[in-house]
Structure 1
Amino acid sequence: MVRDAEIPVLRGFLTPSEATEWKQNVFSSAEAGPVLQSLFDGDFEAVLLNPQVLDLLGGGDCSDGEAIDTYLERRILAYLNDSTEKDKADSCCLGGPCAT
């Protein structure tokens, strides 16, 4: 699903066949649907105010003179690392392999 979402997002629009599929599957997804719908609708304020995006961008102060791309890269890496740790913990709780 992630790769299927990346291509239209990078392209900036949905093909007619993708639009039909996305209405049925992606936009109805509780996790990613609302932010992707807002993105394709051009409602960038809603994208930035989305709780997932606020979680991604929040919690990190921009250092004096730090470039925006450096700040965003740092925040995305921190978010992904945190998500990876949460996934590991969730997997362990569900009977998956635990790192001890």
Structure 2
Amino acid sequence: MLPSRDEYIATMKAQLDEWSANIAALEEKGNEIKADARVKYQEHLVALRAQRAEGEKKLDEMLAATESTWDQVKLESDNLWAAFKDSYQAFTAHFK
């Protein structure tokens, strides 16, 4: 059974909260990185923050979506989540 619109929006909000926590943890870890790697690390953090901001915009779009636009907004949200997840995993793998 597919989640209802309200359940999906609540899930997206929880994912945004998770993104925020993950980014905060990465920022903390960034303080421990050597100076020569810190610039690249910070660049990656900026990209993750931008993706998170896109997630906020998408959440707003989801809240404002009508029945006729819901499926498209949901698809875009799913794609955004997948892209963030891929970026986050690549980032954490690179800076182990």
* TM-score clears 0.5: no
| Larger gyration radius, structure 1 or structure 2 | 1
TM-score by length of 1: 0.35
TM-score by length of 2: 0.36
